């Protein structure tokens, strides 16, 4: 049997890159699909846009499986953009696989698709809820997940969704980079003392969980899985770990969560009218994420995917520190 061909969308991101690399190392034929070349050795780049059905069809053509990571990830911007990329993009991927005559789809989603603003304490994945999820990203990802899961079992498609929670690791500019940056300039608040317990996922673990979902799809199709390190920490400890790795002081600025949520609402309104060049410094969604617990029951995920995280948070922070030593914060 020849090596399968697997398409990874969004391989230029940290997690997508890790997934593509892991698959390649196992001898799979890996294709990467994104706007600009991902530049991963031994991985064929197919450039294009998720919003273009034809681009997607071209990339998917001949692939046995798709790991679909590409998405618009942000906390601001018009909802139409999110819909086009996250919902329509996913529809294009599903349609393209159908055109192929079927195949496996690992839809990479987010726990926020089922996060309704309240604390999540030791829950397993619940149903994606586009009407009640918070923020454009979560709402459109929820709709995308329902769309993808709805295709499972039709026309030779096998679909599973993996929702890694707060992925971080060396080279991460999205989250770790921003946190460290803000901490360095003293603009990182700890909401409600940063006592909320949250799950995070070291990138290698998230990538391996996604690969495991692909490997196990015959058994686990139709199911959604939240993936995390299974080592929840308080927000303050999470931030402190990254800041220590980067060699910047841990945050000490303390803000009541309610104030931050209120500020988030106000800032979001202003941003709607007069968008800044970056993301808003605070949104209601972000304030909720940083001041309410969200950690998950990992038992089903681990049992069904036959996967356990290999890199602990402490080890992850050590890797992060090593990376920062080579890429010092300016």
Q: Compute the distance between CA of residue 227 and CA of residue 229 in angstroms, rounded to an integer.
A: 7
Question: Least distance to other proteins from the beta carbon of 84, Å?
Answer: 34
Q: Which stretch binds other proteins (CB under 8 A): 154-162, 219-227, 297-305, 321-329?
A: 297-305
Q: Is 226 in the site for other proteins (CB under 8 A)?
A: no
In the complex with other proteins, which residue's Cβ is closer, 121 or 329? Answer: 121
> How many helical (H) and strand (E) elements, i.e. helices and strands, does the chain have?
13, 15
- For residues 148 and 263, which CB has a smaller minimum distance to other proteins in the complex? 263
Please state the closest distance from residue 121 (CB atom) to other proteins, in A: 5
As given in the structure block, the two tokens for residue 262 are 């209120």
Task: Note if 202 is an active site residue.
Answer: no
Size of the site for other proteins (CB under 8 A): 26
Residue 260 DSSP class = H
Determine if 197 is a binding residue for other proteins (CB under 8 A): yes
Kindly state the smallest distance separating residue 286's Cβ from other proteins, in Å: 13
CB-nearer residue toward other proteins: 88 or 223: 223
Using rule CB under 8 A, residue 321 touches other proteins: no
Strands 253-255, 29-34: pairing kind: unpaired
State the nearest-atom distance from the C-beta of 280 to other proteins, in Å.
21
Q: Is the CB of residue 157 less than 8 Å from the CB of residue 105?
A: yes
Q: Choosing from 33, 82, 137, 225, which is the catalytic residue?
A: 137
Q: Which is nearer to other proteins, 22 or 195 (CB)?
A: 195
Which positions from 276 to 295 touch other proteins by CB under 8 A, shown as an x/- string? Answer: ---------------xxx-x
Measured distance CA(246)–CA(239) in Å, rounded: 11
Q: Is 38 left (phi over 0), alpha (psi -120 to 50) or beta?
A: alpha
282: nearest Cα among 178, 212, 144: 178
Strands laid side by side in the 294-296 sheet: 120-123, 294-296, 197-198, 233-234
* Per CB under 8 A, 266 contacts other proteins: no
Under rule CB under 8 A, residue 322 binds other proteins: no
Which is closer to other proteins, CB of 195 or CB of 259?
A: 195
Binding to other proteins in span 69-128, by CB under 8 A: 119, 121-123
CA distance 48 to 56: 7
Say if CB 228 and CB 164 are below 8 A apart: yes
Q: Please report the DSSP string for 140-162 in residue order.
A: HHHHHHHHHHHTTTSTTEEEEEE
Shortest distance, CB of residue 313 to other proteins, whole angstroms?
10
By the 8 A CB rule, do 60 and 66 touch? yes
- The residue among 23, 27, 32, 24 whose CA lies nearest residue 3 is 27
Binding mask 235-264 for other proteins (x = CB under 8 A): -xx--x----------------x-------
Residues forming contacts to other proteins in the complex (CB under 8 A) are: 119, 121-123, 191-193, 195-197, 230-234, 236-237, 240, 257, 291-293, 295, 297-299
Q: Which residues are catalytic?
A: 137
């Amino acid at each position: 049997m020849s090596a399968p061909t697997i398409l990874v969308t969004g391989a230029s991101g940290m997690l997508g890159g890790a997934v593509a690399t892991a698959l390649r190392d196992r001898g799979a034929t890996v294709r990467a699909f994104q706007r600009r070349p991902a530049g991963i050795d031994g991985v064929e780049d197919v450039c294009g846009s998720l919003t273009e059905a034809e681009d997607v069809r071209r990339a998917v053509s001949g692939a046995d499986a798709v790991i679909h990571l590409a998405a618009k990830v942000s906390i601001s911007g018009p909802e139409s953009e999110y819909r086009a990329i996250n919902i329509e993009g996913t529809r294009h991927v599903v349609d393209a696989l159908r055109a192929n005559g079927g195949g496996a789809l690992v839809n990479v989603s987010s726990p926020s698709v089922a996060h309704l603003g309240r604390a999540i304490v030791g829950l397993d994945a619940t149903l994606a809820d586009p009407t009640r999820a918070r923020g454009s990203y979560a709402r459109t990802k929820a709709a995308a997940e329902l769309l993808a899961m709805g295709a499972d079992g039709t026309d030779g498609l096998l679909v599973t969704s993996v929702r890694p929670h707060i992925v971080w690791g060396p080279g991460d500019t999205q989250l770790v980079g921003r946190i460290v940056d803000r901490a360095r300039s003293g603009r990182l608040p700890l909401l409600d003392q940063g006592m909320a317990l949250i799950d995070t996922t070291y990138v290698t673990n998230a990538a391996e969980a996604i690969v495991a979902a692909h490997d196990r799809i015959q058994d686990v199709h139709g199911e959604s899985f939240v993936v995390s390190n299974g080592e929840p920490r308080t927000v303050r400890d999470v931030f402190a770990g990254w800041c220590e790795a980067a060699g910047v002081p841990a945050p000490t600025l303390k803000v009541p969560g309610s104030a931050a949520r209120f500020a988030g609402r106000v800032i979001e309104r202003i941003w709607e009218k007069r968008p800044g060049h970056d993301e808003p410094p605070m949104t209601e969604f972000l304030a909720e994420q940083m001041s309410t617990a969200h950690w998950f029951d990992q038992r089903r995920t681990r049992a069904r995917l036959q996967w356990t995280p290999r890199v602990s948070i402490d080890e992850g922070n050590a890797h992060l520190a090593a990376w920062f030593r080579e890429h010092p914060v300016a």
